[in-house]
C-alpha cells in the first residue's frame, strides 16, 4: 500500500463522517503482539507491545466509526549467535494510523465490530549482543550495541472488536483481536555486526489489545 493512499483514505472518511457525527473525543489503544513465524515458541523475548493515541469519531447511527492516531510498535526479537553470545534485537515502527470500523449491533449489550487499521511510518532497528554469564540472565554482560535506520513502510491490520457500550449507546471500551502485516524484522534486518551475519527475519504478527474512548 502506498503511504499516500493512507492519507487520502483518512481525508475521505473524515469528510464523510464529520457531518453526521454523534460523538468524538480522545482514544488510546494498547496491544500485545506475537510474530506469526514464531507463534508456537515459548520464548517470552519473541513478543512486542504497541500503543496508539489520538482522535476518534462515531456516526449518529453508531454503526460507523473511525480513529486517527499516532502509534509506536516495539517488536522484540532474540537471535542465538552461538554457545557464548546472543542478540536482543528490536524493531521500532512509529507513525500515523487510521482505523475505520463497522458495528453490527449498536443496540446490543456487547458490540461486535470489524475494523481495518491502515498504518504508515518509519522503522528503526536496535540490537544488543550479550555474552552468557553464570547465574542470573539479567547480569549477562553487553559486548556490543548497534542501531540502524530501516526506512519508511506501510501496513494494514484487519481486526475483530468486542466493545462495551456507554449510557449513550456508543462503544466506550473494548477488546481487539487481529493480524498486522507490519514486518517484524524490518529493523533488526538492517543491523550489522561482527558477531552475527545479516539477519533475514520476516513475519507479520497476531495481536490482542484493549482500547478506551473518552468524550
- To 5 degrees, how large is the angle CA 80–CA 87–CA 125? 135
Determine contact, residues 99/83, Cβ cutoff 8 Å. Answer: no
- Separation between Cα atoms, residue 169 and residue 92, nearest integer Å: 36
Q: Is the dihedral of CA 206, 32, 46, 197 positive or negative?
A: positive
Considering the entire predicted model, what is its pTM? 0.86
Give 146-170 pLDDT, tens digit per residue: 999 999 999 999 999 999 887 765 6
**188: Cβ contacts below 8 Å, ≥ 6 apart:** 77, 79, 87, 89, 90, 91, 125, 127, 199, 201
Sequence-distant (6+) residues with CB within 8 A of 72 are 50, 51, 92, 93, 94
* Mean pLDDT of the chain, nearest integer: 86
**Domains identified in the chain and CATH numbers:** 3-214 (2.40.160.20)
Confidence bin at 7 (pLDDT 50/70/90): low
Q: What is the pLDDT of residues 90-125, one digit of tens each?
A: 999 999 999 999 999 988 889 999 999 999 999 999
End-to-end CA distance of the chain: 32
Amino acid at each position: 500500500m502506498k503511504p499516500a493512499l493512507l492519507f487520502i483514505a483518512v481525508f475521505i472518511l473524515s469528510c464523510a463522517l464529520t457531518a453526521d457525527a454523534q460523538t468524538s473525543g480522545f482514544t488510546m489503544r494498547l496491544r500485545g503482539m506475537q510474530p506469526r513465524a514464531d507463534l508456537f515458541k515459548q520464548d517470552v523475548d519473541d513478543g512486542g507491545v504497541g500503543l496508539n493515541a489520538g482522535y476518534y469519531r462515531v456516526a449518529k447511527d453508531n454503526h460507523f466509526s473511525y480513529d486517527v492516531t499516532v502509534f509506536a510498535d516495539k517488536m522484540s526479537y532474540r537471535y542465538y549467535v552461538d554457545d557464548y553470545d546472543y542478540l536482543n534485537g528490536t524493531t521500532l515502527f512509529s507513525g500515523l494510523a487510521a482505523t475505520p470500523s463497522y458495528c453490527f449491533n449498536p443496540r446490543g449489550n456487547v458490540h461486535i465490530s470489524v475494523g481495518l487499521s491502515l498504518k504508515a511510518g518509519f522503522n528503526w532497528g536496535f540490537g544488543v549482543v550479550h555474552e552468557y554469564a553464570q547465574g542470573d540472565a539479567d547480569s549477562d554482560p553487553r559486548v556490543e550495541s548497534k542501531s540502524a535506520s530501516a526506512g519508511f513502510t506501510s501496513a494494514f491490520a484487519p481486526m475483530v472488536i468486542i466493545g462495551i457500550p456507554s449510557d449513550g449507546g456508543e462503544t466506550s471500551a473494548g477488546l481487539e483481536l487481529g493480524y498486522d502485516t507490519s514486518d517484524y524484522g524490518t529493523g533488526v534486518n538492517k543491523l550489522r555486526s561482527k558477531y552475527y551475519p545479516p539477519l533475514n527475519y520476516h513475519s507479520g504478527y497476531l495481536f490482542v489489545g484493549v482500547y478506551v474512548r473518552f468524550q
